[in-house]
Amino acid sequence: MPTDADLVILGGGCAGLGLAFNLSPYGARAPRTLILEQRDAYRNDRTWCFWGDDATPFSQLAGRQWRHLRIAGDGRRIDFDCGNTPYRMLAADAYYAHTLQAISANPQLSLCLGHSVLSEPEYVGGVWRIETNQGSISAGSLVDTRPVQTPVTDKPLLWQSFCGHEIETAEAVFDPSIADLMDFSEVCESSIVFIYVLPVSETRALVEYTVFAASPLHARDLQQGLHAAIEQRTRGSTYTTLRSEYGCIPMGGDAVQSALTDSPRSQVRVGLSAGAARPATGYAFQRLQRWGAKCAQAMVMNGAPVPQSPDRLMTRTMDRLFLQVLRAQPALAPALFTAMFAGVDSRRLIRFLSDTGSLRDHAAVITALPAGPFLRHLFAGRAPA
């Protein structure tokens, strides 16, 4: 049966554009692809960060990078040297422009802005049918990158909620040579709170207020903490808010689904609600780019998309235990994170956090962390009721 496309990608965000970008070099071998995006235009609405050398995908598009990061908490201030894999900040507008240019160069790929999906896609007679505000669309394969509309709030071990403003100050108040990765200056008994500051210049920075908690928080719940963090960092200098960011990421648990197990092989779900982010950190950008390259190759070679590969068993086990301890004892977070960044060689820790760590890298992280909290949690879980 003729279809409108070989592949429909629902959502033209980081994951959807990343997959289409990876399809673009295949030329005429690429499947006929439609990317359905509900927004009418792209704007600089978010920031992605990652560690990487010059060969890491999209590193050259990063607008700023830092070789030194600071972690403050538990009475310590750690200066973390990133060496040859600096911490890079990629603005959304640079990513959008780069991927859209590549997509437009391949006539097999079409971006459809202003297309809202009206109902869940249906699989009938080996064909996907998608009802949109612009009409019905049919395709042989479907990749759904949209966020889950009604997330199961009681399943993730923790939720990472964050809100940030990129600001411009009237006076020089920032040190652009070092970024604050985690500043645990605010004490909270029931959740984990830290400040994240990426200084672009002496007068410009992205300041974010982040909370790890058992339930997701709305942007309005974070505004007071964000305002206090900005006031502390600007030290009374007047400032202008250039743009804002908000996000809520599930960290571990059953709500993170790596694939739709009850769906045909021709459909996969990808995104933050489908395991895109590393459970213990929330980093997702490079994970999505690796998936995009793998999925594009599978579409060209076999005509079917593939889901994101699950993390290795050791990584899943370590992340789950780490999150369980953080959820049970949030006050330990500053001590655990500072111990990790102070006690592990930067090259090993960056590989571990970037999902490329070896067994020795995992072992180094385990050795650096205090064993007591993890052993007590394990034995408590095995105790009879």
Q: What is the pLDDT of residues 50-70, one digit of tens each?
A: 999 999 999 999 999 999 999
Residues paired with residue 144 on neighbouring β-strands, in sequence order? 10, 269
Closest to 195 in 3D by CA, of 162, 173, 218: 162
Cβ 141 vs Cβ 8: under 8 Å: yes
Amino acid at 153: T
DSSP string, 57-76: TTGGG-SEEESEEEEEETTE
Q: How many helices (H) and strands (E) in the chain?
A: 9, 17
Distances (CA, A) of 143 to 9, 180, 277, 352: 5, 36, 17, 29
DSSP string, 178-218: -EEEEE--S--SSSEEEEEEEEEETTEEEEEEEEEESS---
Torsion of CA 224, 228, 230, 231, to 10 degrees: 130
pLDDT at 150: 52
pLDDT at 245: 95
pLDDT at 383: 45
Kindly give, in sequence order, each residue whose CB lies less than 8 Å from that of residue 167, ignoring residues fewer than 6 positions away: 204, 205, 206, 207, 230, 234, 239, 240, 241, 242
User: Per CATH, the architecture of 5-64+92-146+253-302 is what?
Assistant: 3-Layer(bba) Sandwich (3.50)
Closest to 196 in 3D by CA, of 156, 131, 245: 245
Model confidence, pTM: 0.92
* Residues recorded for the chain: 385
pLDDT at 385: 39
d(Cα 333, Cα 192) in Å, to the nearest integer?
7
pLDDT at 141: 96
pLDDT at 381: 60
| Residue spans of alpha helices (H) in the chain | 14-23, 92-104, 219-234, 285-302, 313-328, 333-343, 346-353, 359-368, 371-382
d(Cα 215, Cα 211) in Å, to the nearest integer?
10
Distances (CA, A) of 312 to 270, 323, 355, 356: 18, 17, 9, 10
Closest to 180 in 3D by CA, of 333, 346, 68: 68
pLDDT in tens, the chain (385 residues): 689 999 999 999 999 999 999 999 999 999 999 999 999 999 999 999 999 999 999 999 999 999 999 999 999 999 999 999 999 999 999 999 999 999 999 999 999 999 999 999 999 999 999 999 999 999 999 999 998 755 555 578 899 999 999 999 999 999 999 999 999 988 787 899 999 999 999 999 999 999 999 999 999 999 999 999 999 999 989 999 999 999 999 998 754 444 444 456 789 999 887 878 998 998 999 999 999 999 999 999 999 999 998 899 999 999 999 999 999 999 999 999 999 999 999 999 999 999 999 999 999 999 999 999 999 888 776 544 3
Helix (H, G, I), strand (E, B) or coil at 35: strand
End-to-end CA distance of the chain: 59
d(Cα 272, Cα 146) in Å, to the nearest integer?
9
Helix (H, G, I), strand (E, B) or coil at 320: helix
Which CATH class name applies to 158-251? alpha beta
- Would you list the domain boundaries of the chain? 5-64+92-146+253-302, 158-251, 313-382
d(Cα 310, Cα 51) in Å, to the nearest integer?
21
